[in-house]
Amino acid sequence: MSDLSSTEALVAADLNDGVTARRHPVQVTWGPDGLGVSSDALAETIAWSELVWIDLLPEAILLGRKDRPGWRLRLGRDAPADLVARLPQRPRFGQWIDRFGFGKSLAGFVAVSSMAAFVAVNTPSWLGRRVPVSWEAGMSDDNLEDLSANTCHTPASDAALAKLSAMLDFENKDGSLPPVRVEIIKLDMVNAVALPGGRVLVFDGLLKQIDSPDTLAGVIGHEIGHVRERHVMQAMLREFGISMVLSGFKSGVTNTLGRMTALSYSREAESEADTWARASLAQANVSPVPTANFFTGSADESSYAQYAMAAYLNSHPDPASRADAFRGAFRRDQTYRPALTVPQFAAIQTACEDDPKVKPMMPGQ
């Protein structure tokens, strides 16, 4: 990065490279030609014109790239003034209170909660469970309305996903709750994510690494657990704040997905989602052992696939303990069955290859 030699300062930052869900520590330098990002594994310069402002978090400035979906750089709020002055301008968000029906009540709640630290700390958990599901769904549709072009559909894969979702969503057997929508996105990233409003996205990159329908059932069961336990809105409120959630993001599909894949759940929330997943597998008579094996992993660590899988697992707390919990849920007296038939599972894995209309996720959407 010789073009940045005029700047000697090094600033620590965290990088999500858009390929895996794991954050990497990096060093940042800057100069007239752009922002330099380096670590033991990479060294590159990003032109200032390619950077986009994503968010101002309580502890960090979140930046993205126009040319790389999912790429996220977290700079500390104490970054040098000379660096901050060169960053893209922070966008101004419109009037959000009048856009949503319960905005005034939320604003009133915030005013009251600011009077007591205890209430402020517990606002996300308290409020996240009380946000109407219909409002969540509307927010998800508003921000991801263009996602249909990147969603993989075939008649066989849609039927298999619907079967799997209905089988695992045991709390909604009577149809009293809004259904969970499970969709496949053509994005070569090893991840799955729960969105507001009961939407679960499984990225094609993850499907390429999963070798059995029972493992897929465990992963989707975990994400449905986040939906049913209302963890998504709680985490959004905790990390982005009420005003940011109410603004609806409005920064495009790629930026919204980047925020959601970088969202951090508490250890308690991850444990609750795992508990929900084990219960859903038991209700469906699907063995929890393949999911346990998924957490422990095996095979050649030098391959990219295994690296990506390890990064996905490491983004969740303590994979070994989670594997033990799923393995301990196995019951010798229970008769298990495959979550899907071989053709059904194959239809899901090849959905993006078989769908002639689907488009890969592209920058700037």
pLDDT of residue 282: 96
Instruction: Give me the mean pLDDT over the 111-128 stretch.
Output: 48
Q: Does residue 102 lie within any of the structural domains? A: yes
Q: Does residue 361 lie within any of the structural domains? A: no
pLDDT of residue 101: 45
Do 137 and 69 share a structural domain?
no
Between 336 and 95, the more confident residue is: 336
pLDDT of residue 176: 79
Do 121 and 33 share a structural domain?
no
Decide which of 21, 55, 86 is a domain's last residue.
86
Q: Does residue 326 lie within any of the structural domains? A: yes
Angle at 224 between CA 23 and CA 335, to 5 degrees: 115
Q: Does residue 325 lie within any of the structural domains? A: yes
Helix boundaries (H) for 66-178: 81-86, 103-113, 117-128, 133-143, 155-168
| Residues belonging to the chain | 365
190 C-beta neighbours (distance < 10 Å), count? 27
Q: Does residue 360 lie within any of the structural domains? A: no
287 near 336, Cβ under 8 Å?
yes
pLDDT of residue 94: 42
Do 9 and 122 share a structural domain?
no
For residue 71, what is the domain's CATH number?
2.30.29
Do 246 and 209 share a structural domain?
yes
Q: Does residue 148 lie within any of the structural domains? A: yes
pLDDT of residue 113: 52
pLDDT over threshold 70, residue 198 = yes
Do 218 and 146 share a structural domain?
yes
Do 243 and 330 share a structural domain?
yes
Q: Does residue 35 lie within any of the structural domains? A: yes
Helix (H/G/I), strand (E/B), else coil: 151: strand
Between 320 and 104, the more confident residue is: 320
pLDDT of residue 195: 84
pLDDT of residue 270: 87
Measured CA to CA, the distance from residue 83 to residue 332 in angstroms comes to 60
343 C-beta neighbours (distance < 10 Å), count? 9
30 C-beta neighbours (distance < 10 Å), count? 25
Decide which of 86, 113, 146 is a domain's last residue.
86
306 C-beta neighbours (distance < 10 Å), count? 15
Do 139 and 32 share a structural domain?
no
Instruction: Give me the mean pLDDT over the 217-240 stretch.
Output: 85
Instruction: Give me the mean pLDDT over the 109-121 stretch.
Output: 47
Do 67 and 34 share a structural domain?
yes
Between 95 and 22, the more confident residue is: 22
pLDDT of residue 147: 77
Tally the domains of the chain.
Answer: 3
Q: Does residue 92 lie within any of the structural domains? A: no
Measured CA to CA, the distance from residue 58 to residue 77 in angstroms comes to 8
Which residues constitute the domain of residue 109? 97-126
Q: Which two tokens stand for residue 242?
A: 């009420």
Do 262 and 145 share a structural domain?
yes
Do 157 and 79 share a structural domain?
no
Residue 14's pLDDT band (boundaries 50, 70, 90)? very high
Helix (H/G/I), strand (E/B), else coil: 89: coil
Highest mean pLDDT out of 315-319, 331-335, 343-347: 343-347
Residue 324 CA to its chain's centroid (Å): 24
Q: Which two tokens stand for residue 161?
A: 């996903």
Span 298-310, pLDDT tens digits: 333 433 344 444 4
258 C-beta neighbours (distance < 10 Å), count? 24
Measured CA to CA, the distance from residue 65 to residue 85 in angstroms comes to 18
DSSP state of 90: P
Measured CA to CA, the distance from residue 238 to residue 128 in angstroms comes to 9
Among 324, 70, 280, which residue's Cα sits nearest to residue 188? 70
Mean pLDDT lowest among 152-166, 315-329, 342-356: 315-329
pTM of the model: 0.61
Decide which of 25, 57, 86 is a domain's last residue.
86
Q: What is the largest CA-CA distance in the chain?
A: 69
Do 105 and 65 share a structural domain?
no
pLDDT of residue 35: 93
Estimate the crossing angle of helix 213-228 against helix 267-283, to 10 degrees. Answer: 120
Do 191 and 311 share a structural domain?
yes
